[in-house]
Each structure stands twice: as C-alpha cells, then as structure tokens.
Copies of this chain bind each other. A is one copy, B any other.
Amino acid sequence: MNVRPNLCLAAACLLACAPARAEEGMWLFTDPPRAQLKTAHRFELTQAWLDHVMKSCVRVDDEGSGSFVSGDGLLITNHHVGLDSLQKLSTAGKNYARDGFLARTPAEEIKCVDLEVDVLQSIEDVTARVNAGVPAGLDEGAAAAARRKVTSGIEKESRDRTGLRSEVVTLYQGGAYHLYRYHRYTDLRLVFAPEQQAAFFGGDPDNFEYPRYDLDICLFRAYENGQPVHPEHFLKWSKSGAGDGELVFVAGHPGTTDRLLTMPEIEFMRDIRFPLQLDILKRWEVALTAWSARSDENARRAKDDLFGIQNTRKARDGEVAALQDPRFMGARQAAEDNFKARLAARPDCAAALAAYSRIAIAQGITSRTYPRYRYLELGSGFFSDTFAIARELLRAGDERAKPNGDRLKEYADARREELELELFSDKPIYADYEIVKLADSLTDLAARLGFGDPTVQKVLAGKSPRDRAAELILHTQVRDVSFRHRLYDGGAAAVAAAPDPMIELARSIDDEARALRKTVEAQDEVKRQAQAVIGRARFALDGTSSYPDATFTLRLSYGTVKGYEENGAPVAPITDFAGLYRRSDDHHGREPFNLPPRWIAKKAELDLSTPLNFVTTCDIIGGNSGSPTVNRAGEFVGIIFDGNIQSLSADFGYDDIQSRALSVHSAGIIEALRKVFGAESLADELVSGHR
C-alpha cells in the first residue's frame, strides 16, 4: 500500500502545485517559503537569520512555545503556558498564579518544580535511512514495527554521539523523516508573572475575541550548574515593536493540524459531529448555569466544568462557522479536486486515488454510527464523574486480565499510572451536582436515541431520568475511594460481586458501547492508512514546496500586522492601554473585566497610547502559545497568546480574510513592567539584552 516517494517524484515540477493562500503555512526551517517572501515582501531569508531564530526558540514542556530574550538566559512564554509551574510554586500564603510574581534580585528567582524546555540545535533528513529499514511488501503492521525499530536506532545513535535529545519526526504523513536534536534545560526559575486577571483580562467573554487587552506573559530564567545560562542565540528586543502593515514571523511549535482531511471527513465535522457536540455542550451549559444561579455553593461546584464547557463550545462554534463558509470550503474542495485530477493523470498514483474512496466509505460508516457512539461510548448520555469512575472500575476489571496488547488503549500498562491517578483521585464529588448533570444527560439520551429505544429503556429501568439519576447517584458506592481500591485490586470478580447500581448500569450498556467503539476505531484505522497513502503521494508530487501538517516541532509562519472587517465594521490591528481601561470602565470594573489594584493605582503613570495587543495574518494553532513574533531583523516584537474566533478553522485550513493570530506587543510589555510593576531592571535587561 506504500506509495514510495520516488514513484511520482519526477512529476513534481511538471504539474502546477495547488497554490497556497498568501501567507499560509507552518513551514519547516529546512524548507522555508523563501520564494514567497521574496516575491510578496522582497525579503531575503538567509540561513543565518533562520539559525538565529531557531536557536533562540524554546519548546516548553508538552504544551507551548517560548524564546530566549536575553543573553543571561531570560526566556519568555505565556502566562497560561507557565500557569502549571506558577500553581506548583504557590502555597497557601502565596498565590503566584493569581497574584503574580517578581524576582527583584537573582536570589529571589524561584526554581520551578518540573518545568523543562528544549532548544532545537540541528535538523537532519533521515528519510532514506528510515525507508531503507522498511522492506517493500510488508503489511501495514509489520511496516510500522520495522519503522519504529529503525527510528529508535537512529535516535539512540544520535543521542549517544551528540548527547542531545534526539527525535525522528514523521512529516508529510510519512513522506519524509527528519531527525531533530534538542538541548534540554531542566533548571528553570520563575522571574516574573503578572496577575492572572491581567494575563486573562476579559475572561471567557473575550476569549478568542478581538480587540483584546491581555498581558499574557511569564518570564523564566534558564540555569545550568546553578548559574544562569548565556545562550549563544537570543532575540533582541525591538526598539519600536511591530506597526500596522509590517511583515512579521512567528517561530514556534504548532501542535497538530488536519489540513489534509478529505471533504467527506470535513463535512462529517460540519454536519454531524460538531452540531451534535454543540447541542450537547449548550444543553450542559444552560443546565449548569441555571443550577449555578441558585446558590454560590452550586456555582463553586460547577465552576470548572462550566469553564471547560464554555471554552470548548466557543471553539466548536468558531469551527462550525468556518466550515459553513463557502469561501473556505470552496477553496478546500477546489484544492482536493485539483489534487485528485493530478493523481488521476498518473497511473502510478492510482493507489492514492483509491484511498479517497476508502475514506469516503469508512466516513459514511462512522457518520451513521456517531450519535449512538457519542452518547453510549463517549459518555454524553451519562455526564457525571460517578459514571466515568464506575465504567473505569468495570473495564479495569475486564481489561487488566487480558494481555497488554489486547486491551483498550487506556488500560495498557504504559498508561497505568495515569489511570490510577484518575481513578483514586480524592477530588470531591458532590451528589447533588452529580444528580443534576446525570438527570439532564439521561433526559437528553432518551430524547436523542428515542424513548422507546431498548437501550434507553434498559438505562432508565422504568423510572424517569430524574428519579433514575437520583437513585443511581445516591446508592452507588463509587464516590468512596476505598471502595474503588477494593474493586480495582480485586479485579473482575470483585467488581461482579459488588452490587453497585452505577457499575451495573455501565455493565448493561458495555457490550453495545464497545461494539460502537470497535466500529468507529476500525474506520479510523482505515482512514489513517488511506490518509498516509494520500499524504505520501502528495509529498511525492509536491515535495517540500508545500508544508507538512503540524507535529509540535519548530515551524516558521509569516504574515503582516493587519486589521480586518467584522459585521461590516473595521477592526483595528493594534490595541493600547487606553482601550484596556475603557473596556474595564464599560463593565464598571466587574468580573471578568476587573483590574488588579496596582493597575488601577498606576493608571496615571502609564502612557495610555502604548500598544498592548496586535493581530497578524500568521498561520498558527495550539502549541504556538508563547511563540515569539519577530520582525525582518529577527527581533522580538511580540508574543503569540491566542487566535481570534475566525482562526478556529486553522485545524482544517488557512484563511487570511478574518482569521488572525493575537500577540502581546513588545512595547506594551516594557510599559507594564516599568510603570505597573516597577520592574525597571527586568525591563532594562529585556531592552539591552543583558542584565
């Protein structure tokens, strides 16, 4: 099934490539968009520029990006990327996550608990070595095993030779394999964080929106051997920052994209998965909001769930909006048609064309299965911690008795620690809140699958959803952690011997839920293999003239500082401190538009016309959080912290009409550090590049 790259390679220059949209792309540092930059922006991208930016960038833990911004090891990322470290450093008396932090002297810098950052040192194309290690004619499973073996060997050899952390990255769905070598820093110390309210000003209402006014930054210093490091490369602070219309770059670690999804797969998201998920999320949001309004204690109990629901709901709404935009979908369709026509013209690419048909068939099966799968296996019909735990106990008993390789993936030995951490968490679970959630989702289950559906009848056991929820929640023992330990340790026999109504409910639907999952996962595997065939054919035809899907490795995006139009009105590209105070005033300083006390106290000292946030057309996605925005000179002009709602289509494709990446402006950072926080020496270090 392998489309070997060399089969189609000769065609690459004969056929016109599907043109990328202006300023589209999360480009490899090894194959940057030199021609586009030269043509559109008269900018010569040099190898020195690339090396400098690459070695100034950092990858933060498993979730974000950042960059060195001083020769004394200072690095900057987002407050929301550093938040986990801020929380771990906080104590009962000192809430750094909420109240911020400033080390006024090196001695005051606090060592983080487990923060690590990687700096990319080199990239090597190992495609030929990897492919040589995978003999032709192997089936998919054997090929994957052979590939894992050869990449592990390459990684080990590299690590042994260089002492650097080495990873073979699969690009272009297997069209290319690159070896990335990183220097890892493990001693990071907290230098500065603003108040969470300044970092996330506007909260959920302003999340994914623009204009914005967030100081979403956090500064750490890298140490080695107890001393600050002096990195060879760091980004110099721009004197003026970015201005309207200016060419800028984003260098960071976009997580994942699905830009090669086929039309049936995207239409499934647009027409089935997202609308259903949104119905469910909005239903839960209303239920939890209404319940929260009835008492402060209710509100406290529902707060985390509600925040997560609102955040996802907003993202999904944005994605649906993008997928319902004929301009966006038309471009996707045209690109697919064009590519399929190119494949059709090449007899040696028949396998890729056939892969499209396999995807369409598999997607059809998944689409028909999806609603039931969502309610029964993904648990949308049983929204409660209690049900989730009951099912975990049930399945742990069944799965752990099987050989490791035969288990559902969440019960594999490799994930045992994660499972047990979750299963034995003593996080409080409130019966009243559980009843509200479960009753609402059982009601929805009955309406969605049909009241007369045999599974629904079995689940409700002759009771109303509300009565059934109350009965299950009040009589189950799974909220008792010691009960969970007993059943987990005792295995399937202990589970079977415990007459727990919630576990019995989970058991009563388990055969059907597992069967639904099996169907969906089988189609996922068909699609994954078919996508790989198509991806490799694409790479064979186009090579590196297109960029690969994001892989949480370093990429370069470019674009311009540029406003846009929304509902017929212009949205200016740059906000300032005056706007921040105005927005707070417009809401009478009420949450989440309240300002921390020192921001109110220091207002008069600020130059309110200083830029605070700005938008660019750069192509970003989750994982880019904390990425530096740099100018032609390779200087730091800002830091990525969000995308606007229109940018939520970025998973599926790029659009530059309204989609924008949001950055904190370099000038705003300096103004706040000096005037609000009195962090003069820190600001001096950023501006001068040295302490």
Contact = CB atoms under 8 A, between A and B. Distances in A.
B205 A293 contact: yes
A470 interface: yes
Contacts of A285: 282, 286
Interface in A575-597: 586-588
Interface string A317-358: 100110011111000000000000000000000000000000
Contact of A205 (B290, B451, B587): B290
Contacts of A290: 205, 310, 314
Which of A270, A286, A295 has the most CB atoms of chain B within a 10 A radius of its CB?
A286
A294 to B, nearest CB: 5
A147 interface: no
A627 to B, nearest CB: 27
B271 A470 contact: no
A326 B286 contact: no
Nearest to A317: B443
Contact of A447 (B271, B294, B465): B271
Contacts of A460: 326
A321 B282 contact: no
A313 B279 CA distance: 14
A451 B314 CA distance: 21
A114 interface: no
Contact of A435 (B313, B324, B567): B567
Contacts of A206: 294
Given A206-B294, A286-B285, A435-B567, A324 B443 contact: yes
Nearest to A286: B282
Interface string A22-58: 0000000000000000000000000000000000000
A404 interface: no
Contact of A293 (B204, B328, B568): B204
B289 A447 contact: no
Interface string A446-465: 11101100000000101111
B286 A313 contact: yes
Interface in A224-255: none
Contacts of A317: 443
Contacts of A282: 279, 282-283, 285-286
Copies in the complex: 2
A521 interface: no
A465 B326 contact: no
Given A321-B464, A470-B567, A567-B432, A296 B588 contact: yes
A76 to B, nearest CB: 29
B325 A467 contact: yes
A325 B464 contact: yes
A371 to B, nearest CB: 13
Nearest to A469: B567
Interface in A584-634: 586-588
A285 to B, nearest CB: 5
Residue of A206, A324, A435, A586 ringed by the most chain B CB atoms within 10 A: A324
A423 interface: no
A184 to B, nearest CB: 41
A364 interface: no
Contact of A443 (B293, B320, B328, B451): B320
Nearest to A320: B443
A463 B435 CA distance: 43
Contacts of A448: 275
A209 B298 CA distance: 15
Interface string A281-306: 01101100110011111000000000
A103 interface: no
Contacts of A450: 271
A474 interface: yes
Question: Which of A206, A327, A447 has the most C-beta atoms of chain B within 10 angstroms of its own C-beta?
Answer: A447
A378 B510 CA distance: 41
A446 B310 CA distance: 22
A493 to B, nearest CB: 31
A282 B289 CA distance: 11
Given A204-B293, A568-B474, A321 B466 contact: yes
Contact of A271 (B289, B296, B313, B451): B451
Contacts of A270: 447, 451
Given A282-B286, A447-B320, A567-B432, A586 B295 contact: yes
Interface in A201-222: 204-206, 209
Contacts of A294: 205-206, 209
The 8 A-B residue pairs whose C-beta atoms are closest, nearest first, are A325-B464, A205-B293, A275-B447, A282-B286, A470-B567, A282-B282, A205-B294, A474-B568
22 contacts: A206-B294, A209-B294, A275-B448, A278-B283, A279-B279, A279-B283, A282-B283, A286-B286, A289-B289, A295-B586, A296-B588, A317-B443, A321-B464, A321-B465, A324-B443, A324-B451, A325-B464, A327-B464, A435-B567, A466-B567, A470-B567, A470-B568
Given A270-B447, A271-B450, A325-B464, 7 more contacts: A279-B279, A282-B283, A285-B286, A295-B587, A320-B443, A435-B567, A474-B567
